[in-house]
Amino acid sequence: IPMKITDIDGLEEIRAQAIHLDGRVSGWVSLSDEDSCLSDWNTGTYTSIEIQGDFPNIDNHVKRMVFLDTPGPNNSTNMLHGELTHKILSENGFTFLMFVLNTTQFGVEDERRLLRMVADKLKIDGDHSSIVFLVNKIDALDLERDECPKTHVGRVKSYLVEMGFKTPIVIPVMGKLSLELRVCLAAHKAQIALPFSSRVQCRIAHEIDYVLAFKETYGMALKYVPSAGIDFSPSSLHQNTAANIRIGDRDFTLEEIIEAEIITGIPALERCLQASLAS
């Protein structure tokens, strides 16, 4: 079901409430890592969920940022999802649109159908400037077998232009790795143990090594993102970037983790959203 997620600067908890079919509201419940009611609400008799929390890298001093998360439409599972997305798009209840594409399923029919829906909507509005396309799972490309992020982004751009989008902004991202790195950084800051098993930590460590080994190659794909301003000198962000974080059986400096985090593209997305909000 659709989720409305509101960024409230400085809010320490993340809280949620569900709106029932008959209009009843559940009341705010604090979400925790151990116990989340969201999956119950998603399968129950509710029409929407509201969430409030602080997106730490988005500043609301001009306007408050709100994400309207639509259920992923997929013909084979639930036709209603497509109708809901269509309804949200046609009701004009948004100022900006973030479209997530999947590197591993590029060009599939479900994606094409949804892109067509968005392209038709923008054709009516005539405004192509307030949309960003994320190419998620860009780290699924095998760089050692000459699969190139920049080439893939170029291919996605051409595809989008063919679909009717004028000069699309495309950001290659690694959502999963970004989340894991941010959880590691938060654990380091709070001086608590990493909330991952040793097997998962070893996998994360391996992925960090991989993205750092190819940081220039990934950086090339991010270079043309407007207002991303990618640089690999994160030392100004933290006082002691030489500090070590142990992930699995590897020691990384804080600087290496922040470098890897920049390569995930999520900071570029945040800057892009922030710039759009400020304009």
Partner 1 sequence: DEFVVAVVAPMSSGKTTILNAMLGKALL
Of 24, 67, 53, the C-alpha closest to 277 is 67
**Contact flag: residue 182 with partner 1 (CB under 8 A):** yes
Q: Using the rule CB under 8 A, which residue among 17, 29, 67, 119 binds partner 1?
A: 67
CA angle 270/278/16 to nearest 5° reads 55
CA angle 129/130/132 to nearest 5° reads 100
* R_g (Cα) of the chain, nearest Å: 20
- Shortest Å, Cβ 22 to partner 1: 25
Q: Using the rule CB under 8 A, which residue among 18, 114, 194, 268 binds partner 1?
A: 114
AA identity, residue 24: R
* 37 vs 212 by CB, closer to partner 1: 37
Stretch of 20-28, 93-101, 235-243, 247-255 lying at the interface with partner 1 (CB under 8 A)? 93-101
| Alpha carbons 236 and 234: distance in angstroms, whole number | 5
Query: What binding mask, one character per residue, do residues 152-181 give for partner 1 by CB under 8 A, x or -?
Result: ---------------------x-xx-xx--
**H-helix or E-strand spanning residue 48:** strand 46-53
- Shortest Å, Cβ 114 to partner 1: 6
- Shortest Å, Cβ 62 to partner 1: 8
Number of C-beta neighbours around residue 107 at 10 A: 12
**Contact flag: residue 106 with partner 1 (CB under 8 A):** no
**Contact flag: residue 108 with partner 1 (CB under 8 A):** yes
Stretch of 58-66, 142-150, 199-207, 240-248 lying at the interface with partner 1 (CB under 8 A)? 58-66
Contacts with 22 (C-beta within 8 Å, 6 or more apart), sequence order = none
Q: Tokens at residue 86, please?
A: 């269509």
* DSSP letter string, 107-118: T-HHHHHHHHHH
CA distances from 275 to 91, 189, 225, 226 (A): 25, 28, 12, 9
**Site residues for partner 1 per CB under 8 A:** 3, 5-6, 14, 31-33, 36, 38, 51, 53-58, 62-70, 72-74, 77, 85, 88-89, 93-102, 105, 108, 110-111, 114, 118, 134, 136-137, 173, 175-176, 178-179, 182-183, 186, 264, 266, 269-270, 273, 276-277
